[in-house]
Amino acid sequence: MRRNSEPRGWAFGLGVAIVRPALLATTRPHWIDGHKIPASGGCLVVLNHVSHVDPLTAAHLLWDHGRIPRYLAKSGLFRNRALGAFLRSAGQIPVERMSRNALGAYDAAVAAVRAGECVVVYPEGTITRDPGSWPMTGKTGAARIALETGCPVVPVGQWGAHELLAPYATKPDLFPRKTITMKVGDPVDLSDLVAREHTAAAVTEATTRIMDAITALVAEVRGEEPPATRFDPRAAGVAPIGNPRKFPDKKGRR
């Protein structure tokens, strides 16, 4: 554990005071190799996505290791005036998914990394659709930020948050306490890609390396072998965002 010395602002301080005790009452944090999270400086932390509670448990991990996270959060959360004001005060970055306006979030994330902040990205872009809850194919946002800034990209494989709040469930399962395991890996080596032209092929390769690193960590945490082929929602005809139980395919058919 590290002491947190970063300026946190009123919103994040309030969030810590409320959320951390609630998490400690309902979960058992099991952090593995947290020392691999950079103590300072701009970085990307990339994780697999299994539950809507993931941002809270990831924030717990980072707070315990001396970092304040900035998230790329879906823009719908900012439409509520009170919640939006809170999220902005906490330094979170709205993303309009499936929209050209997502470019503004990319610019904000690059600026945050260059300012020395810790930016958290879920490269899958949504809760995994893989039938076994393994990491699925990643989107390119994290890779593009990494190649533009040359910052450390720290992968984390996590498991257990889905037991606290199942995907797209409306009520958490609070008791008994759930074990949340997060294993931090070594930074993903993208140095050769950073040094050359950032073509579409380079971005795709960087995305693959990032997802490979996350998947390997999830496999270690779960003690299981991942599927030989990563699940691709587009190839499977699954809606890229939203609850797949309501809209199982990209045409919105039930």
Whole-number mean pLDDT of the chain? Answer: 90
Return the amino acid letter for 138.
G
The number of folded domains in the chain is: 1
Q: Once rounded to an integer, what is the mean pLDDT over residues 106-111?
A: 90
Q: Which band of pLDDT confidence, cut at 50, 70 and 90, is reported for residue 252? A: very low
pTM: 0.90
Looking at per-residue pLDDT, the higher value among 178 and 9 belongs to: 178
Alpha-carbon distances, residue 53 vs 73, 161, 201 (angstroms) = 13, 7, 33
**DSSP letters for 70-86:** EEEEEGGGGSSHHHHHH
Q: What is the predicted pLDDT for the residue at 251? A: 46
Label the pairing between strands 153-159 and 93-95.
unpaired
Q: Is residue 137 part of a domain?
A: yes
pLDDT at 250 (0 to 100): 47
Please report which confidence band the pLDDT of residue 85 belongs to, taking 50, 70 and 90 as the band edges.
confident
pLDDT (0 to 100) of residue 6 = 72
Average pLDDT over residues 14-30: 94
The 3-state DSSP class for residue 47 equals: strand
Q: Say yes or no to pLDDT of 233 above 70.
A: yes
Are the C-beta atoms of 184 and 29 separated by less than 8 Å?
no
pLDDT at 15: 87
Domain of 89, CATH number, reads 3.40.1130.10
Residue 72: both structure tokens together: 């790329």
The DSSP code sequence of 96-145 is -TTSTTHHHHHHHHHHHHHTT-EEEE-TTSSS---TT----PPPSHHHHH
- How confident is the model at residue 105, as a pLDDT? 83
228 lies in some domain: yes
Asked if the model's pLDDT at residue 101 lies above 70, the reply is no
> How many other CB atoms sit within 10 Å of the CB of residue 33?
13
What does the pLDDT look like over 137-171, one tens digit per residue? 999 999 999 999 999 999 999 999 999 999 999 99
Could you tell me how far CA 96 lies from the centroid of its own chain?
16
216 domain residue, yes or no: yes
230 falls within a domain: yes
Q: Is residue 19 part of a domain?
A: no
Helix (H, G, I), strand (E, B) or coil at 183: strand
- Which tokens hold the place of 158? 């996590």
Task: Name the nearest CA neighbour of 65 among 37, 93, 88, 43.
Answer: 37
- Give, rounded to a whole angstrom, the gap between the first and last alpha carbons of the chain: 47
Domain that holds residue 85: 28-168+178-236
